[in-house]
Structure 1
C-alpha cells in the first residue's frame, strides 16, 4: 500500500511534466526550426502526440491501479475523473479531428480555419492545473492532512 500511495503522488507530477515538455515546449519549438517544412513538422508532431497519448493512458491506468489498492478521498476521485474525462475527450474526439487536418495539410491540401488547436490548448492547460492539484491532494492525505 505504501508503494501505491507513493504512485498516487508521483504519477500526476510525472504526467504533468510530460504534458508540459511536449505540448508547451516541443510542439511550438519545432515550428521555429528553419529547415523544417510545415508538412514535415506536422508529421513529426503527429507521431510525438500519438506517443504522448499512449503514455498518458499508461500513466492513467497505473494511477487507477494505485487508487484501487489505496483508495483516494472524494475530492481526489473527482479530480482524477476530470483528468480522465479530458484524456478520453482528446483521444476519441479531438485527436481524430486534428489528425484529419494534419494529414490534409501534409498532403498539400488547404483546410478551413478551425478552433481545434485552441480547444486542445485549453484542455492541456486544464490538465496541467488538475494534475499537480491531484498529486498535492494525495500528498496531503498521506501526510494526515485530509483534504476531503
Structure 2
C-alpha cells in the first residue's frame, strides 16, 4: 500500500476510533449519572448524539474505504476495513431501528421494563473499536 494512502487511512481510522471511544464508552454512560437527567431527557440527548456520531462514522468509513482502495491495500488491510464498515452497517440497519422504536415509546410516556437491546449495540461497539484499533495499527506499520 502506498505511504500517503496508508497515512491518510490510518489518521482517519484513529479519529473514528477516538470518536467511538469518547462517545460510546464515556459520554453515553455518564450522561445518565448527571444530576437532573431523567431517562427521557437522557434518551433524547442520546438519540441526537448517536445520530450525529453515526453520520460522521459513515463519512469516515467511506473516506477510509476510498483511501484503502486508492492505495492498493493488501488483504490484511482490506479485511479489517470491511469488518469495521460491516459492523457499522449492522448497527445502523439492524440495531438502531430497534433502539429508536423503543426510545420513541419511552419518550411518548410508556413505562417499559428494562431492555437488553442496547447491549447488542454495545457489543458491536466493542467489536468495532477492536477492529478499528487493529486496522489503525496495521496501517501505521504498513
TM-score, length basis structure 1: 0.90
Contact map agreement 1:11 1:59 (CA 8 A) in 2: yes
Q: Is 1:137 equivalent to 2:138 in the alignment?
A: yes
**Local SS of the residue matching 2:141:** helix
In structure 2, the partner of 1:106 is 107
Residue number in structure 2 paired with 1:7: 8
Q: How many residues align?
A: 141
RMSD: 1.3
Compare 67-76 and 111-120 and name the one that shifted more: 111-120
The answer to whether the 8 A contact 2:68-2:77 is kept is: no
**Equivalent residues of 1:13, 1:132 under 8 A apart:** yes
Does the CA-based 8 Å contact 1:72-1:138 persist in structure 2? no
Query: Counterparts of 2:92 and 2:17 in 1: how far apart (Å)?
Result: 17
TM-score if structure 2 supplies the norm length?
A: 0.93
Kindly state the Cα deviation for residue 6 of structure 1 after the two structures are TM-superposed.
Answer: 1.2
> Deviation per CA, 1:34-63, whole angstroms, max 9, x where unpaired?
112210110010000000000000000101
1:74-120: per-residue Cα shift (whole Å, max 9, x none)?
12111111111101001111001101111111111123443211111
The aligned residue for residue 53 of structure 1 is 54
Asked whether the equivalents of residues 9 and 68 of structure 2 are also in contact (C-alpha less than 8 Å), the reply is yes
**Is the Cα–Cα contact under 8 Å of residues 76 and 137 in structure 1 kept in the other structure?**
yes
> What stretches of structure 2 of length at least 5 have no aligned partner?
none
Matched with 1:116 is 117
**1:38-49 equivalence runs, <5 A:** 38-49=39-50
- In 2, distance between residues paired with 1:40 and 1:131? 31
Structure 1 moving runs of 4+ over 4 Å: none
